[in-house]
Structure 1
Amino acid sequence: MAEVIEWLADGTAGGSPYSPRFGDRYRSELGGLEQAREVFLKGCGLPAAWASQPQWTILETGFGLGLNFLVSWAAWKADPQRPRLLHFVSTEAFPASAEDVLRSARTHPELLPLAQELQAQLWGLLPGMHRLVFEDGQLLLTLCIGDAKAMLREQSFAADSVYLDGFSPQRNPDIWDLHTFKAVARCCRRGTRVATWTVARSVRDALAQAGFVVEKVPGIPPKRDNLQGEYNPAWEPKKTRASPLRRTASSCVVIGAGLAGAAVAASLARRGWQVTVLDAADTPAAGASGLPAGVLAPHVSPDDSLLSRLSRCGVRATLQQAGRWLQAGQDWSPSGVLEHCVEHERKLPHAWQPEQAWASAAGDWTRLATPEQLAQCGLPPKAPALWHVQAGWIKPACLVRAWLSSPGVSWRGNAAVSQLTYQSGAWRVLDASGQELAQAELVVLAAGHASRALAETAQDQPLALQAIRGQVSWARHEPTEAGTAQALPAFPVNGHGSLIPAFPHAAGLAWITGGTFERDKASADIKPQDHKQNFGKLQTLLPQAAQTLASQFDKLDIQAWAGTRCATPSRLPALGPLQAPDLWLCSGMGSRGLSFAALCAELLAARLHAEPLPLEQRLAEALLPAHAALTTG
């Protein structure tokens, strides 16, 4: 459940937020706005320090009610010399509710529009990292839910400014101890500015031991002093994961114009790269991303597995992109998805159960399906099923085309790449005749299964990328059968294949179901017999819907679409650098391209630019291409 906050009627506008857990107020007696501006923003030399920088990263310990974030956002937004990209990373062990965050901001009307945008994204804050996106992707908030020390060990970046905040050292000593400051220091570069409101001797001593040089400065009433300084240890810090230098945007070639390639192109273009996307086909999304419509839903497992955690990060990223780029009702719909657990009941993690610590946040993601939802599907009240709240259907090709329309992205079709050669610090991308198609400093392989052969032209280690053929069945709802659409569920259903009951298509309102799953099949040929297999899956998944659509299957009044997906042995995407310099792989998303493409693209960009990661370090490392490499010898 969200952290309990009491609102004290102490004469301040809207009341004063108070934490029963720590026996302390969330903000100073004067309301907190001046503290946010004077102690933290100006205490770190902002906004002057970030002027004309390509990116800037602020690290905060203790998100609380988000006031420091909102003040920093407002200052960035008002600054004509603001950095192109602002990262704000904040830790919080006990997250407040979205409603309390908004209520806190009502005291400051100038911040209320920003607080309303923040409130809309403060859902599903389970332990781990959550990337929230604002200002068309130029302002990125990474909320790290959990103990600050543990969360910062899962990050990889170098902060430019540090806000040390939290309840008083007497009330919450853990956030002010030496171990926390050492974790903060690992995320700093020499010269990183630090500011806080407390001047407690224990805090100053611990900061000094961690390598910070601080001094007292005049405070704002009623406090006499504040603390400012910088990270400047007397010793040479050990190299950490925050050590890589920030990359300067340059030229990039992305090979593949499906979900993976288009997402990478858009993420790099937002950071100033000039990106050329090459594809062998004459239209974008001609491969597996050409699926007429696909289901977007998180994976759930009793142990909250790696795949489950990654899928939630990915679904959030895709929902943000769909909300920005696509037309709801036409290109996508956040309708929710019912998962019918056909093979076995899928149990939720223990911590998600009613009355458990994370039940409320988990309920923002996935709940047990209600009898009413089951009835809409024609399923019995006791049928094992989950309801995915943050889920729906998307037309992948629409998302691909939107990403490729990003400023800085150039797409070229009929450009089949056969070979890569590296000369004088740049890649030459060649066709089958040896003619140069493009040249760039960086190349990203995002061509699905074809990435395997391209990688072999540039490195010795082959990749275990597997081709998986899939075919779906779809048809439009006949105008003369007006009751067909009404007889089907009002939302997608998955679990043994899937059914999207209604989505707009050029031929009219359509449904789609399937699909097949053939390993080591790279052909996308249509097989009429696959309709029978898809209908059989539908009979198991939704017997009533299958009965409704049986006549169209019997008359073969249906269409087929087939494509080749690309998977890895781990069932996870492959994302990261290959052996050759400035050659990256973004592939292996299997049937979850809609879940993983946007996330992997942001992870690639973060690692290139030494930015904060959009997910935990251990999750990012599980995607490294080495895990998709074939053993040799």
Structure 2
Amino acid sequence: MIPNPVTVPTDTDLALHWRERDSFVLLDSEFGSGEHFFAAWQAWRDDPQRPRQLHYLALLPQLAALHDLQQAAERFPEWQAMYAELCSAWPPAVPGFHRIFLQHEQLVLTLMIGDGAACLRQIVAKVDAFQMLGRSWKAWPVAALGTLGKLAAQHATLDICGLEAAARKQLQQAGFVFENDVDNRSESDTHSIISCARFAPRFTARSAAAIIHGDRRAIIIGAGLAGSAACQRLVQRGWSVDLIESHAVPAQQASGNIAGIFMPVLSRDDNPGSRLSRSAYLFALQAWRRLGGIGTTFTGAACGVLQIARDAEHANGQQQLAAFWRYPADYAQWLDQAAASHLAGCPVSDGGWYFPAAGWVQPRSLCQAMLDDCISRQQTQRLQTHFGRHAALLERKQDSWLIRDQHGTEIASAPVVILANACDALQFPQAEDLPLTAIRGQITYIKAGQVPAIAPVICGEAYLTPAYEGLCSAGASYDKDMQQTLRQDSQDDNLTRLANILPGWQAGALPLAGRVGFRCVASDRLPLVGALPDKTGACAVREAKLKDLARFPGLYSLLGYASRGLIWAPLAAELLVSQLNGEPLPIEADLAAALDPARFLLKKQRRSEPPGR
């Protein structure tokens, strides 16, 4: 139902607050069917003095159906084009934070699906305007309203409907000063009184301020998936970037395989790893659509991925998981053995998960597409590449970092350096303590016709991609040695595991063919995204948290993507660039903390603390 138009913020209400601003952040406590969002979008679009970027953060217990959005849009003809653009980027109905880019990425919608009070605690942002015009916030614990004060930017405004005494007191304690109340009652709603407040706390709590870099120049070391994605996101935000790569062309190490598969990870307890993989997977799909699309701008196919259960016990557990979570069909479907075999186009060993939007991508072509996008969007030359140059020395001089090659010759200097060069980052003293390991992975190439002609990617204990240029990729080994040449025992292992999920198929005598790459894996199997810790820095806090640890100024990492670089790269780059620009984060606070490179130092310090301290 469309609310009384007076409750929808007018262009005048918003314009008086956001004009002459570079960026503006608005938090809506009740997205509903999108009426408030469409109204704010229209006001922003029609204001010639609008901020360059509008971040719209919206809470909703479950994702609205496209039909509901359509009904809302049909009431206002001027919303039709906006509705069509939003629908094209609408995510599957799964919990978590979903970042959607609209209007050439100048309007950023972040949908936060789940319990409103819980989601509120997971937001990392400085909010300029709070709109709490629905009823859902009344189900929150009153104490949750205190979180608004922690999120509020200087002089933030608050519009709240149906405010009662206890909630008003809590908001006042959080630092909000109320002005006049607006009686917005209509014939159908006799309780809609909007209270207006401004954030003006009597005391300002001391906290470590986020470092926002005014000098938007950065050096990225490494031109694989991690580095190329970081280039693309930084240049899109107006940064100037120097990209340093020791090879003559991009994506020559772990990103150099013919085909890599992309898919999410599922778990019964929806642990942080699963939540992160879901966010990364869905964000990657959206990022690739904006880039031009799989199979169009870069090589690959969204042909679906079929993940076969290991055995009957595993299959039973996955069936229980499917019954528990009831994922939407456009995200994940559980298929029994007969249905899985029919979909695969050949017999498979058991039932499995089908991810219809997943598939395979040639990483090298994706890296090139991201770098090409940097050039195509430039009005001025913002990306400078230094291929065939080895970054051997990282020096801090005054307020900048200086990169030299192995001969001592300067390559580039900038206030910000991002290490995106996998385990090679360990050569720098600033990163030498990071718990990263190079894990050997050998992929086997099989000529088309020597394996079943599958429709989707098939994976499980091994994987097999559909043929590309006459070759299918199978693998991959997980070896702990550093041999760079192909080995027969690794190929035999790949083929044996593949045969286990393709009953009736035998590899026979295949020639030794494939590629060896080295995954960069952290000790907890999660990436390292963010500011690098300085173990020699002082920490004045007795029981330190991540935010209290000393960091190297302007030194960041995008490392440890392991076997999932395809989906990690876009989200990790977006997360890091949001941190650099002081923008709302695209994921929950606890997930961002799970990726913080300082997490290992914090654990080490806590283990070393004497008992009873």
Classify the TM-score, shorter chain.
0.7 to 0.9
% identical aligned pairs: 28
Cα distance change, pair 493–81 in 1 and its aligned pair in 2 (3 A): farther
2:458 corresponds in structure 1 to: 493
Alignment of 1:174-573 (within 5 A): 174-175=139-140, 178-198=142-162, 204-216=168-180, 222=186, 226-233=194-201, 235-239=202-206, 243-244=209-210, 246-329=212-295, 331-342=299-310, 345=314, 353-354=322-323, 359-361=326-328, 363-370=329-336, 371-377=338-344, 383-405=350-372, 406=374, 407=378, 408-454=382-428, 456=429, 458=430, 462-475=433-446, 477=448, 487-503=452-468, 508-521=469-482, 523-544=483-504, 546-547=505-506, 550=507, 554=509, 556=511, 559-573=513-527
- RMSD of aligned residue pairs (Cα, Å): 2.9
Query: Aligned partners of 2:348 and 2:522: how far apart in 1?
Result: 37
1:14 corresponds in structure 2 to: none
Could you report, residue by residue, the CA deviation over 1:200-255 in whole angstroms, capped at 9, with x for unpaired residues? 6665444333321222366668489643331112x2132468x5254325110000
Shift of 1:283: 0.2
Q: Which amino acid aligns with 2:314?
A: E
Shift of 1:262: 1.1
Q: Which amino acid aligns with 1:577?
A: A
Contact 1:585 1:625 survives alignment (8 Å): yes
2:27 corresponds in structure 1 to: 59
Contact 1:428 1:438 survives alignment (8 Å): yes
Contact 1:124 1:365 survives alignment (8 Å): yes
Query: Aligned partners of 2:440 and 2:199: how far apart in 1?
Result: 54
Shift of 1:197: 4.8
Query: Aligned partners of 2:319 and 2:82: how far apart in 1?
Result: 35
Query: Aligned partners of 1:69 and 1:351: how far apart in 2?
Result: 38
Alignment of 1:4-83 (within 5 A): 17=1, 27-28=2-3, 30=4, 32=5, 35-38=7-10, 42-43=12-13, 46-83=14-51
Q: Which amino acid aligns with 1:542?
A: L
Q: Which amino acid aligns with 2:460?
A: G
Contact 1:58 1:159 survives alignment (8 Å): yes
Contact 2:578 2:584 survives alignment (8 Å): yes
* Residue from 63, 67, 76 that aligns with 1:108: 76
| TM-score, length of structure 1 as denominator length | 0.83
Shift of 1:122: 3.4
Query: Aligned partners of 1:438 and 1:606: how far apart in 2?
Result: 24
Could you report, residue by residue, the CA deviation over 1:118-150 in whole angstroms, capped at 9, with x for unpaired residues? 234433333332222223433222211223222
Could you report, residue by residue, the CA deviation over 1:134-167 in whole angstroms, capped at 9, with x for unpaired residues? 2343322221122322212112211112111212
Query: Aligned partners of 1:415 and 1:328: how far apart in 2?
Result: 31
Shift of 1:91: 1.3
Gapped runs of 5+ residues in structure 2? 535-551, 609-613
Cα distance change, pair 129–348 in 1 and its aligned pair in 2 (3 A): farther
Shift of 1:281: 0.2
Gapped runs of 5+ residues in structure 1? 1-16, 18-26
Query: Aligned partners of 1:471 and 1:350: how far apart in 2?
Result: 32
Cα distance change, pair 84–511 in 1 and its aligned pair in 2 (3 A): farther
Shift of 1:447: 0.1
Could you report, residue by residue, the CA deviation over 1:70-122 in whole angstroms, capped at 9, with x for unpaired residues? 22223333444443332111112244323222222221121122223323443
Could you report, residue by residue, the CA deviation over 1:550-579 in whole angstroms, capped at 9, with x for unpaired residues? 4xx6352x7412211100110111112112
Query: Aligned partners of 2:45 and 2:492: how far apart in 1?
Result: 56
Query: Aligned partners of 1:448 and 1:71: how far apart in 2?
Result: 45
1:128 corresponds in structure 2 to: 96
Q: Which moved more, 1:386-395 or 1:426-435?
A: 386-395
- Helix, strand or coil at the partner of 2:58: strand
Cα distance change, pair 526–271 in 1 and its aligned pair in 2 (3 A): same
Query: Aligned partners of 1:258 and 1:185: how far apart in 2?
Result: 41
Query: Aligned partners of 2:473 and 2:349: how far apart in 1?
Result: 26
Contact 1:266 1:404 survives alignment (8 Å): yes
Could you report, residue by residue, the CA deviation over 1:374-407 in whole angstroms, capped at 9, with x for unpaired residues? 2343666881311123311112112211222213
- Helix, strand or coil at the partner of 1:268: helix
Shift of 1:501: 1.3
Contact 2:347 2:502 survives alignment (8 Å): no
| TM-score, length of structure 2 as denominator length | 0.85
